Structure 1
Amino acid sequence: MRFNLPFRKARPDTVNHAGAAAFTLSPALELYAAVATTALADQFYETADTRLTRLRELVARCEPRFVAQLAVYARERMHLRSVPLVLAVELTRRHCGDSLVSRLVARIVQRPDEITELLAFYTQANQRTGRKTLNRLSKQVQKGLAQSFNRFDGYQLAKYDRAGAVRLRDALFLVHPAAKNAEQQALFNHLVAGTLPTPYTWETELSALGQVTYATPAERTAAFRQKWTELIGSGKLGYMALLRNLRNILEADVSAETMVEVCAALADRFAVARSKQLPFRFLAAYREVKALHGGHVSAVLAALEDAISHSAANLRGFGPDTRVVIACDVSGSMQQPVSPRSKVLLYDVGLVLGMLLQSRCQHVVAGMFGNTWKRLSLPRGPVLRNVDEFYRREGEVGYSTNGYLVIEDLKRRREVVDKVLVFTDCQLWNSAPFGTSIAKEWADYRRTVAPQARLYLFDLAGHGTAPLDVRAEDGVALIAGWSDKVFDVLAALENGGSALTEIESIDF
């Protein structure tokens, strides 16, 4: 990748959602950004239906193999569930003649409920309802789902056999998987008959406890305390379930010995690696626990800091001589939840990713921008505590999107840096009465102060435009997503690849 070519003035060719001049992305880059940042839920500038329509249009404009690789990347590296299924169904509508779709379906369907979710979206995508569409199910989808069925055991099928437009029983009749042996055939027969045994899960155990009538609140608390103690001691409470139920466990007032087990499980580096949690999940848990006042709260907060530090253990940062600026967008459009049921905002995701990267860099300036740009000097160690400090102070800079101020400040100081990393929804505009922009300021900065500098836009919303021309020769690249895997893309860019290198390296 060459970043030191002569400056070439590029002209914006569109406007963003804020009405500011912007640059369009290539179809492949736009699809990657849209996929990496979607929960298929309404966002500040875009409804879920609008995003889904755009995904479908972009699939039609991209090479089928790239779409398949992106679906695998989203499922296996970014741990997304719904959007890879959307890509697979859309590919079914656009591509035929080989086994690409069946291999894709077999690879991305990793839980039994993803079989029924894929079939439900298949009916929606084909604009029909129920059996009429499913009776004409694509042979390639059928073949891929049959392979998926053969991977699941009785516990998995029972756990994910949920009510919905399509049940697992319906899917079995549609797909007709050939049982591997007599034991699996018996399992399929139980699924058809509805006689699969109820699985032992924390959900079923607590649900059963919740149906009991208790004489006093104290009796109820004691029953839940005993159940949480049993679940934690059994080792059958998964990492995500533990993370999401920390408040419930603390409020049940379990014993000190049990809380020692909880903290050890949270901070276990191998458990963190296996759990594949998105970084912002640790922040959500941290905030839930921080609101409590029990004696074990400080220990749990420390365990969560250890956990997120383990999640960043293999993150490739920059060496001690690399001068880095991390700028976090705290504008109004970033105050948007990542999904309808989440308390985590896009703004939070940007802060978590920014502080994770800061924890891996030696020479770093971090700050936030809105109406103004403010640098904040924070210690490198505590990622979650630093995020909360940013959150506490975000009102100090206002809620506009004046990202150009980050670069203008560097230019004014004549400060030479190597990397500028901006965590944003890319919908930047200038609220000041004069006509500068981040594109103009960046071009001037590279020409007059730091010709070798590189600017990385971390797109957290995937709206399809960028505030600068994303060109290697201009020192600009775009990376998208909410996962720590964005830093693998950063490493690929640093090693001469493109934002799509990680995707195109998928063996498929």
Structure 2
Amino acid sequence: MRLNILKLSHLGFSGTSLRTHEGAPAVVISAEAQLRRSVLACMLWEDQFYEDGKTIAERIAALVPQVEAVTVAALAIEARERMKLRHAPLLLVREMARHATHRGLVAETLARVIQRADELSEFLAIYWKDGRQPLSAQVKKGMAAAFTRFDAYALAKYDRAGAVKLRDVLFLTHAKPLTAEQAFIWRQLVEGTLPSPETWEVRLSRGEHKREVWESMLMENRLGALALLRNLRNMQVAGVEPELVRYALEVVRVERVLPFRFIAAARHAPQWESWIEQAMFASLSGQKRLTGRTILLVDVSGSMDAKLSGRSEMLRMDAAAGLAVLLRETAEDVSIYTFSDALRAVPARRGFALRDAIAHSQPHGSTQLGRALNEMRDRGDRIIVITDEQSYDRVPASKYGRGYVVNVASHRNGVGYGAWTHIDGWSEAVIEYIRSVEADA
């Protein structure tokens, strides 16, 4: 049944036969557009609120041969480098390797999207998910090129005891070392004698005292921003000196961290919320302004309380609130509203106060996006809707100069098309994308 649904949507059978999960008529879009929306907002093989990850992966696989090879390759690179996804780009390249029309771009695309050493073995796991088979010449070439980029620290950090090991990748691809030093490192990898890197994971696994590990890592400034934010709760439980945490949040480089990461961290370590908020504001300093008047409409329906993925503790609402915080700091003039069963204006707050105002603006009920847009009387140069698009009702054309729908999920049948500009996923690139669209116009 799933494949039959996919075929119908690909061929353009529309009318009222295609519906969102909640029942509104969905708009049929091209194979390229479907592939973009599926890839750029998905956590591959992780359960979504409306679709399971297996269905999403099947849809991506079915769409790849329908889209030009150069377009698929560019999408894989965009997904990895701009949207920071890891598994979806690997799946795209694996599907490219299946089709003669796409194989010619596999090597250079694969070498580009593999940016962490563990992605070498993860790609092989994806390649063999339907059964073990020989690697194509293009796959070997791309993986061999990627392998030469990783130093001893990276190889040791990700030399894990999985079904596919890094030494397996080395043997299968016949990669050639670029230097004598690299040849020595690879020999250590094969022999299992690579020195263990002194990461916090390794030190904790050795049984070192948790408080001492965290405090030494903080004093030596050896934690990256994401590792710091994700482990604040663990530091609190371990009894880490709060002043060390404050210092770390002040000095860590946060310019590439999105607001929703800080929002999730504050939910789990509320006692340090004021310091986390200051770090978030630091990450947003220096942002270019989005000129003109912006109306922001945030979905607070029940489905937005779902997790971003099965293994993540972050919610879709974190992503939506994070983009709201980002827009509050970057838009020249912005008014914010929420919608669910009703349309509600949000007070003009900043940071975590804005997050709270959005979350508590109304009960988290159904997704009445069409009703909210019809009731909207505010006017601006643009309207931006942050949603998972699963509307109960028909969505009208935008009444504004520009209308954007930012999709924070990856459902097959959505509503934000026609006169709307559709943006898949959540990223700092959302604002830059809007600037570029309007500058071109």
TM-score normalised to the size of structure 1? 0.79
Deviations 1:200-225 (A, max 9, x none): 11101112125xxxxxxxxxxxx433
- Residue in 1 aligned with 2:321? 351
Structure 1 SS opposite 2:27: strand
- Inter-CA distance 182–175: structure 2 relative to 1 (3 Å threshold): same
Q: Select 2:337's aligned residue among 356, 364, 367.
A: 367
Asked if the contact 1:25/1:466 (under 8 Å) is kept, the reply is no
Q: Select 1:307's aligned residue among 263, 275, 279.
A: 279
Distance 2:298 2:165 in 1: 44
- Residue in 2 aligned with 1:3? none
Q: Select 1:21's aligned residue among 20, 25, 29.
A: 25
Structure 1 SS opposite 2:440: coil
Offset, 1:265: 2.5
Asked if the contact 1:425/1:459 (under 8 Å) is kept, the reply is yes
Deviations 1:19-61 (A, max 9, x none): 2112122222221111111112111110110000011111111
1:386 lines up with 2:366 in the alignment: no
1:128 lines up with 2:85 in the alignment: no
Q: Select 1:111's aligned residue among 109, 116, 123.
A: 116
- Residue in 1 aligned with 2:68? 63
1:464 lines up with 2:412 in the alignment: yes
AA aligned to 2:97 is T
- Residue in 2 aligned with 1:259? 245
Distance 1:494 1:464 in 2: 27
AA aligned to 1:357 is L
AA aligned to 1:404 is G
Asked if the contact 1:335/1:345 (under 8 Å) is kept, the reply is yes
Asked if the contact 1:325/1:421 (under 8 Å) is kept, the reply is yes
Deviations 1:195-252 (A, max 9, x none): 1111111101112125xxxxxxxxxxxx433222211122322222111111222333
Q: For 1:71-470, what aligned pairs fall within 5 Å after superposition?
A: 71-95=76-100, 99-124=104-129, 127-129=130-132, 133=133, 136-209=134-207, 223-255=209-241, 257-266=243-252, 271-273=253-255, 276-290=256-270, 292=271, 297=272, 301-313=273-285, 315-319=287-291, 322-379=292-349, 382-395=350-363, 398-410=364-376, 413=377, 415-430=378-393, 437-439=394-396, 442=397, 446=399, 453-468=401-416, 470=417
Distance 1:490 1:24 in 2: 23
- Inter-CA distance 22–255: structure 2 relative to 1 (3 Å threshold): closer
Asked if the contact 1:316/1:491 (under 8 Å) is kept, the reply is no
Distance 2:192 2:121 in 1: 16
Offset, 1:378: 2.5
How many equivalent residue pairs?
Answer: 427
AA aligned to 1:388 is D
Distance 2:56 2:258 in 1: 21
Asked if the contact 1:323/1:363 (under 8 Å) is kept, the reply is yes
Offset, 1:89: 0.7
Offset, 1:312: 3.1
- Residue in 2 aligned with 1:4? none
Distance 1:416 1:281 in 2: 31
Asked if the contact 1:25/1:464 (under 8 Å) is kept, the reply is no
**Looking at both structures, which has the greater relative contact order when contacts are Cα pairs under 8 Å and sequence separation is at least 6?**
1
Ranges in structure 1 where 5+ consecutive residues have no aligned partner: 1-9, 211-222, 431-436, 447-451, 498-508
1:493 lines up with 2:433 in the alignment: no
Offset, 1:190: 1.2
AA aligned to 2:353 is R
Ranges in structure 2 where 5+ consecutive residues have no aligned partner: 1-13
Offset, 1:257: 4.9
- Residue in 2 aligned with 1:484? 428
- Residue in 2 aligned with 1:31? 35
Larger radius of gyration: 1
Distance 1:429 1:39 in 2: 24
Distance 2:360 2:30 in 1: 37
- Residue in 2 aligned with 1:501? none
Structure 1 stretch displaced more, 328-337 or 52-61: 328-337
Structure 2 SS opposite 1:209: coil
Deviations 1:240-282 (A, max 9, x none): 211111122233333455234223224xxxx112xx3343221
Deviations 1:263-303 (A, max 9, x none): 3224xxxx112xx334322111111111x4xxxx3xxx233
AA aligned to 1:39 is M
- Inter-CA distance 192–31: structure 2 relative to 1 (3 Å threshold): same
AA aligned to 1:252 is A
Distance 1:313 1:69 in 2: 30
1:51 lines up with 2:19 in the alignment: no
Structure 1 SS opposite 2:360: helix
Asked if the contact 1:315/1:487 (under 8 Å) is kept, the reply is no
Structure 1 SS opposite 2:383: strand
- Inter-CA distance 98–340: structure 2 relative to 1 (3 Å threshold): closer
AA aligned to 1:494 is E
Offset, 1:11: 6.7
